[in-house]
């Protein structure tokens, strides 16, 4: 019984490593961003990976080979997608416009088998509650909805009101859980000495910092650890 349990643990660990490698090779898309072919392969990977874990009599290699083949198919498919627009349209489809200048395109909705509730729900998730406010709404190939509001309904920006804003860049994470992250320094133009000086002025002890970010204008934000 103990030997069987150990064997199960080892087999599970091996399959875990193989599936993790497969997912890593396939890229970092989230589930909601997967194309149809990628979703199919993801489902197949989970099904094939479960077989040797559930049945110790099945050789692990019987799952490892199909898993690697599926990943190979996906990589080859991605390479062909990059080279051929026609192949990409065949495997992924095309984006479909369902709203144009506030008008709901019912023919396209019918072809997509979308209901009006699907459209309204997708708009609400984009903080849009009136179809008449929409200039374009497009269903992307992964099923997500992209929305462009009419010019008079778009949020004001410094450019639209004739002002200029100083570019602060993307805040760089320079300290996490008391540890300095030097790999981000180049993006925000800061040095380790500058970080340590800011830490000294603010807290005196870097170990007290849960998170510290700095933008390229050297403006920083510090979140301290809270004691339980």
* pLDDT of the residue at 29: 53
pLDDT at 28 over 80: no
Average pLDDT rounded to a whole number, residues 70-78: 82
pLDDT at 23 over 80: no
Q: Yes or no: say if 45 and 67 are a contact pair by the CB < 8 Å rule.
A: yes
Find, among 108, 35, 26, 32, the residue nearest to 71 by Cα.
Answer: 26
Burial (CB count within 10 angstroms: exposed 0-12, middle 13-18, buried 19+), residue 141: middle
Average of pLDDT values for 87-113? Answer: 86
Least confident span in 26-40, 183-197, 213-227: 26-40
Residue with tokens 């799952």: 63
User: Average pLDDT of the chain?
Assistant: 82
Q: How many CB atoms lie within 10 A of CB 187?
A: 16
Spans of all domains in the chain: 2-89, 96-153, 172-224
Residue 73: band (very low, low, confident or very high) from pLDDT cuts 50, 70, 90: confident
Rg of the Cα trace of the chain?
25
Question: What gap in Å lies between CA 224 and CA 32, rounded to an integer?
Answer: 34
Looking at residue 81, its pLDDT comes to 77
Instruction: Check: CB of residue 211 under 8 Å from CB of residue 222.
Output: yes
Q: Evaluate if residue 52 carries a pLDDT over 70.
A: yes
Q: How confident is the model at residue 32 (pLDDT cuts 50, 70, 90)?
A: low
pLDDT band at 148 (very low <50, low <70, confident <90, very high): very high
| pLDDT tens, position by position, 166-180 | 766 678 888 888 888
pLDDT of 35 above 70: no
Cα–Cα distance, 26 to 18 (Å, whole number) = 12
Per-residue pLDDT, averaged over 140-158, amounts to: 85
pLDDT of residue 46: 83
The domain over range 96-153 is classified in CATH as 3.40.50.300: no
Range of 2-6, 33-37, 67-71 with top mean pLDDT: 67-71
**Who has greater pLDDT, 117 or 6?**
117
pLDDT at position 1: 66
DSSP string covering 50-68? HHHHH-TTS-THHHHHHHH
Question: Which tokens hold the place of 54?
Answer: 């559930």
CATH topology of domain 172-224: CRO Repressor (3.30.240)
What pLDDT was estimated at residue 124? 94
Evaluate if pTM is beyond 0.75: no
Same fold, 96-153 and 172-224: yes
- DSSP-assigned states of every residue in the chain: -HHHHHHHHHHHHHHHHHHHHHHHHH----GGG--HHHHHHHHHHHHHHHHHHH-TTS-THHHHHHHHHHHHHHHHHHHHHHH-HHHHHHHH---EEEEETTEE-HHHHHHHT--HHHHHHHHHTTT---GGGEEEEEE-TTS-EEEEE-GGGSPP-TTTTT-------PPEEEEETTEE-GGGHHHHT--HHHHHHHHHHHTS-GGGEEEEEE-TT--EEEEE----
Indicate if the pLDDT at residue 2 is higher than 90: no
């Amino acid at each position: 019984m103990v030997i069987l349990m150990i064997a199960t643990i080892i087999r599970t660990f091996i399959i875990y490593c193989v599936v993790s490698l497969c997912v890593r090779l396939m890229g970092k898309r989230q589930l909601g961003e997967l194309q149809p072919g990628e979703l199919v392969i993801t489902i197949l990977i989970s099904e094939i990976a479960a077989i040797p874990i559930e049945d110790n009599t099945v050789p692990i290699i019987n799952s490892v080979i199909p898993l690697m083949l599926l990943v190979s198919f996906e990589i080859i498919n991605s390479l062909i997608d990059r080279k051929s627009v026609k192949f990409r349209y065949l495997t992924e489809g095309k984006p479909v416009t369902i709203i144009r200048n506030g008008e709901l395109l019912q023919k396209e909705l019918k072809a997509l088998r979308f209901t009006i509730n699907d459209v309204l729900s997708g708009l609400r998730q984009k903080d849009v509650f009136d179809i008449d406010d929409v200039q374009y709404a497009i269903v992307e190939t992964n099923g997500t909805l992209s929305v462009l509001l009419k010019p008079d309904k778009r949020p004001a920006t410094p450019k639209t009101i004739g002002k200029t804003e100083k570019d602060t860049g993307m805040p760089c994470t320079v300290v996490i859980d008391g540890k300095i992250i030097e790999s981000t320094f180049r993006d925000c133009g800061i040095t380790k000495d500058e970080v340590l000086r800011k830490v000294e002025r603010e807290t005196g002890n870097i170990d007290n910092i849960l998170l510290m970010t700095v933008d390229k204008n050297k403006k920083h934000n510090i979140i301290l650890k809270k004691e339980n």
